[in-house]
Homo-oligomer: A and B are copies of this chain.
Amino acid sequence: MSTLRVELLNTGSELLLGNVQDAHLSWFGKELFPLGLRIGRQGTVPDGSPIRDALLEAFPRTDILIVTGGLGPTTDDITRETVAQILSRRMVHHPETMERIKERLSRRGIPLQDRMDRQAMAPEGAIVIPNENGTAPGLHIPATEGISWATPHIFLLPGPPRELQPMARAYLLPFLKDLAAGGDQHECRIYKVVGMGESMLEAKIGMELTKRGDLEVGYCARPNEVDFRLIGPKEILDEVEPSVLAAVGDHLVSDENESMEEIVVHLLGQKGATLATAESCTGGLLANRLTNVPGASAVFLEGFVTYSNASKTDLLGVPPDLIATHGAVSEEVVRAMAEGALRKSGATFALATTGIAGPDGGIPEKPVGTVWLALARDGCETEVWKETRPSDRLTFKQVVTQSALDRLRRTLVSM
Contacts and interface: CB of A to CB of B under 8 A. Distances in A.
A301 B13 CA distance: 38
A242 B279 CA distance: 44
Interface stretch (A91-99, A140-148, A247-255, A280-288): A280-288
Kindly report how many copies of this chain are found in the complex they form together. 2
A229 B283 CA distance: 32
A155 interface: no
Contacts of A202: 73-75, 113, 115
Contacts of A393: 292, 294
A311 B345 contact: yes
A75 B29 contact: no
A284 B303 contact: yes
A186 to B, nearest CB: 11
Nearest to A158: B221
B300 A227 contact: no
A314 interface: yes
A394 interface: yes
Interface string A200-232: 101100110010000011111111000101000
A188 interface: yes
A5 B314 CA distance: 57
A102 to B, nearest CB: 13
A322 interface: no
Contact of A29 (B18, B114, B296): B18
Interface string A333-359: 000000000001110000000000111
Interface in A287-320: 287-288, 290-292, 294-297, 300-308, 310-311, 314-315
A39 interface: yes
Given A16-B38, A18-B30, 17 more contacts: A17-B29, A17-B188, A19-B26, A19-B29, A20-B220, A21-B21, A22-B26, A40-B46, A73-B198, A75-B207, A277-B284, A283-B303, A284-B285, A284-B287, A294-B359, A310-B346, A315-B344
12 contacts: A14-B229, A74-B198, A75-B207, A110-B197, A113-B199, A115-B202, A115-B203, A160-B222, A282-B291, A291-B307, A303-B307, A314-B345
